[in-house]
Amino acid sequence: DWIMGNYIEEAVQKIREQVGDEEVILGLSGGVDSSVAAALIHRAIGEQLTCVFVDHGLLRLNEGDMVMDMFAGKLHAKVIRVDASELFLGQLAGVTDPERKRKIIGGLFVDVFKAEAEKLKASGGGHKGATFLAQGTIYPDVVESGGTKTKKATTIKSHHNVGGLPEQLGLKLLEPLRELFKDEVRELGVALGLPPEMVYRHPFPGPGLGVRILGEVKKEYADLLRRADAIFIEELRNTRDEATGKSWYDLTSQAFTVFLPVKSVGVMGDGRTYDYVVALRAVQTSDFMTADWAELPYSLLKRCSGRIINEVRGINRVTYDVSSKPPATIEWE
């Protein structure tokens, strides 16, 4: 609409003035904030922006390709995709403690991103090299790091959202979303032409599937989990609640699948199976501090379990998590 159009116009002007003819690096994660920041900055300065997308191998099914299709394919932005999955999985081998897993993933993420940023700083592809680091910081993040907000879930589980990186890299900071709330960021994203499915996505934790595979993370587990989770999400998107006409994806605040590295017995055809278990998790919440498990229709749960067990060889049992927060947390680790 008109107001959003004006807002974009102004924001674009501000970015152009701030950046001048210098170069900008942005870490693209596939999440809403970094995506909208990338789309806005790209609108403002085009080729002067280079996005770095670190794929840690713990993303959802086809997620990396989707990010590339959107930003490199449709928006024609410069995007460097770093496939670091072997590095991450290698460092995670044998590690079972959730907080250690988070620390390893967060630490490697910073290392890989820094290495790419250093390269861009030095070369800039024939230009004079990057001088700005762009981040998708939004207003609630600003308030939070100012310490104004009271105790948050982040103190219970260490998040890996990067702090202090611009100083370490010797880059100036560009944060065009600093004054916006989440819903405004979403509206801006749609106005910039990002697909609503991307902009209205459920939150996804930085450590990704690393905290949705209980205990040790293995590629085999991640592959099974990705396929099961894609089925769950597809069914949530395709099933509408009759009363509201909304999809169950939109009626839940966060929904995902958790991989349990235990085996249970089943039957399939005339054979016995001994395979892994997954748990489906769906919650409704307004602030993620407390959450209720979602009362999904039985018919939907039934379709999900039937499809997962039939389509994902290696999983023979599906459970539904009926724990609210507190005392459970939303994620299982």
Q: Rounded to 5 degrees, what angle do the CA atoms 312, 316, 319 make?
A: 105
SS3 for 157? coil
**Least Cβ distance, residue 77 to ligand XMP (angstroms):** 23
Q: Which amino acid, 291?
A: A
Task: Determine the Cα–Cα distance for residues 48 and 24; give it in Å rounded to an integer.
Answer: 6
Residue 213 as a binder of ligand XMP (CB under 6 A): the answer is no
Site string for ligand XMP, 40-79 (x = CB under 6 A): ----------------------------------------
Range in contact with ligand XMP (rule: CB under 6 A) among 71-79, 86-94, 158-166, 235-243: 158-166
**Least Cβ distance, residue 293 to ligand XMP (angstroms):** 12
20 annotated ligand binder: no
Residue 288 as a binder of ligand XMP (CB under 6 A): the answer is yes
Q: Which residues of 114-151 are buried (b: 16+ CB within 10 A; e: fewer)?
A: bebbebbbeebeeeebbbbbbbbbbeebeeeeeeeeee
Q: Tell me which residue of 328, 230, 319 sits closest to 277, measured CA to CA.
A: 319
First to last CA, the chain: 42
Residue 230 as a binder of ligand XMP (CB under 6 A): the answer is no
Residue of 5, 203, 297, 306 that binds ligand XMP (CB under 6 A): 203
The first and second tokens of residue 137, run together, are 């910081």
**Least Cβ distance, residue 36 to ligand XMP (angstroms):** 17
Q: Which amino acid, 179?
A: E
Q: Tell me which residue of 195, 61, 36 sits closest to 51, measured CA to CA.
A: 36
Residue of 48, 254, 305, 316 that binds ligand XMP (CB under 6 A): 254
Applying CB under 6 A, the residues found at the interface with ligand XMP are 102, 153, 156-157, 159-161, 203, 205-207, 254, 288, 325, 329-331
Residue list for the binding site for ATP? 29-35
